[in-house]
Structure 1
Amino acid sequence: MGCEKAHSSVGWRWVAQRDEMDGGKEEMMLNIGCAYPNSLHEKDGSVLFLIRGEREKRLVVIGDGSEVFRELEGTVSSNEGLRMKICDLSVANSHVIRKHFPHTRPVSLRKFKTTVGLGDRLGVASPGHIELMKGYDVGPVLAQQSIRELTLTGRTFEDVLSDVVWAVFQEGYSGGFGADGDHLKSMEEVKLALDTGYTMITLDCSEHINNITGLSKDDVDRMYIEIDKGTRERLERRFLSGEFKLESGLKLMFSPEALRLNAVIYQKAIDFAIDVFCEMIKPCPRELDFEMSIDETPTPTDPLAHFFVSLQLREAGVDLYSVAPRFCGEFQKGIDYIGNLGQFRRELKAHQGIASHFGYRLSVHSGSDKFSVFPSIGEETKGHVHVKTAGTNWLEAVRVIIHRDPGLYRELHMFALEHLTEARRYYHVTLDISRIPDMLTLRDDELDGLMNQDDARQLIHITYGLILQEKDESGAYRFRDRIYRCLYENETLYSEFLRKHIGNHLKALGLEGR
Structure 2
Amino acid sequence: MLTIEKYSFGVGDRFAHQAAAQLRSFTRLAEKGIHVAPVWNKSNREHTFVGSEPQSVYDAAAAAVEKLGFDRPWHVDADHIGLKTVEPFLPCSDFFTLDVADSIGKPADQADIDAFVAKHSELIGTLELEGLSAPLTITEEDVRRVAGQYMLATKEAGEIDRHIASVKGEGNYIAEVSMDETDEPQTPPELLIILAMLADENIRVQTIAPKFTGRFNKGVDYVGDLAQFEREFNDDVAVLAHAVKAYGLPEVLKLSVHSGSDKFSLYPIIRDCLKRTGAGVHLKTAGTTWLEEIIGLAEAGGDGLALAKEIYVYALEHVDELCAPYASVIDIDRSQLPDSAAVEKLDGPAFAELIRHIPSNPNFNANVRQLLHVSFKVAAKAGARYTDLLESNEEIVGQQVTQNIYDRHLLALFIDEDGKAIGTGA
Q: Confirm whether residue 115 of structure 1 aligns to residue 8 of structure 2.
A: yes
Contact 2:379 2:386 in 1 (8 A): no
Q: Secondary structure at the match of 2:13?
A: coil
Q: Secondary structure at the match of 1:328?
A: coil
Q: Confirm whether residue 201 of structure 1 aligns to residue 96 of structure 2.
A: yes
Moved more, 480-489 or 152-161: 480-489
Q: Secondary structure at the match of 2:414?
A: coil
Q: CA deviation at 1:247?
A: 2.9
Alignment-derived partner of residue 19 in structure 1: none
Moved more, 268-277 or 337-346: 268-277
Task: Return the letter of the residue paired with 2:168.
Answer: C
Q: Confirm whether residue 210 of structure 1 aligns to residue 105 of structure 2.
A: yes
Q: Secondary structure at the match of 1:261?
A: helix
Contact 1:367 1:389 in 2 (8 A): yes
TM-score by length of 2: 0.84
Higher Cα Rg, which structure: 1
Alignment-derived partner of residue 124 in structure 1: 17
Tell me the distance in 1 between the aligned counterparts of 2:228 and 2:113: 34
Contact 1:109 1:176 in 2 (8 A): no
Q: Confirm whether residue 370 of structure 1 aligns to residue 263 of structure 2.
A: yes
- Residues 265-302 of structure 1 show CA distances to partners (whole Å, capped at 9, x for unaligned) of 10101111222223423763362110000111111111
Tell me the distance in 1 between the aligned counterparts of 2:193 and 2:214: 22
Tell me the distance in 1 between the aligned counterparts of 2:105 and 2:168: 30
Task: Return the letter of the residue paired with 1:393.
Answer: T
Contact 1:185 1:207 in 2 (8 A): no
Q: Confirm whether residue 177 of structure 1 aligns to residue 74 of structure 2.
A: yes
Alignment-derived partner of residue 126 in structure 2: 243
Alignment-derived partner of residue 317 in structure 1: 202
Contact 1:152 1:466 in 2 (8 A): no
Q: CA deviation at 1:109?
A: 5.6
Alignment-derived partner of residue 446 in structure 1: 350
Q: Confirm whether residue 458 of structure 1 aligns to residue 370 of structure 2.
A: yes
* CA-atom RMSD in angstroms: 2.2
Contact 2:41 2:78 in 1 (8 A): yes
Tell me the distance in 2 between the aligned counterparts of 1:173 and 1:241: 48
Higher strand share: 1
Alignment-derived partner of residue 498 in structure 1: 401
Go from structure 1 to structure 2 and tell me whether the alpha carbon gap of 1:337 and 1:241 turns closer, same or farther (over 3 Å shift).
closer
Q: CA deviation at 1:174?
A: 2.2
Contact 1:125 1:495 in 2 (8 A): yes
Moved more, 137-146 or 292-301: 137-146
Q: CA deviation at 1:450?
A: 1.4
Go from structure 1 to structure 2 and tell me whether the alpha carbon gap of 1:230 and 1:501 turns closer, same or farther (over 3 Å shift).
closer
Q: Confirm whether residue 420 of structure 1 aligns to residue 319 of structure 2.
A: yes
- Residues 283-327 of structure 1 show CA distances to partners (whole Å, capped at 9, x for unaligned) of 633621100001111111111211111022224432111000001
1:81-96 equivalence runs, <5 A? none
Tell me the distance in 2 between the aligned counterparts of 1:248 and 1:462: 38
Q: Secondary structure at the match of 2:148?
A: helix
Number of positions where the alignment pairs a residue of Structure 1 with one of Structure 2 = 383
Alignment-derived partner of residue 142 in structure 2: 258
Equivalent residue in structure 2 for 1:146, among 43, 55, 58: 43
Go from structure 1 to structure 2 and tell me whether the alpha carbon gap of 1:153 and 1:140 turns closer, same or farther (over 3 Å shift).
farther
Alignment-derived partner of residue 307 in structure 2: 408
1:261-280 equivalence runs, <5 A? 261-280=145-164
Q: CA deviation at 1:460?
A: 0.7
Moved more, 337-346 or 233-242: 233-242
Tell me the distance in 1 between the aligned counterparts of 2:71 and 2:391: 24
Go from structure 1 to structure 2 and tell me whether the alpha carbon gap of 1:347 and 1:282 turns closer, same or farther (over 3 Å shift).
farther
List runs of 5+ in structure 1 lacking aligned partners. 1-106, 212-222, 470-478
The higher relative CO (CA closer than 8 Å, separation ≥ 6) is in 2
Contact 2:319 2:371 in 1 (8 A): yes
Task: Return the letter of the residue paired with 1:355.
Answer: L
Q: CA deviation at 1:392?
A: 0.6
Task: Return the letter of the residue paired with 2:384.
Answer: D
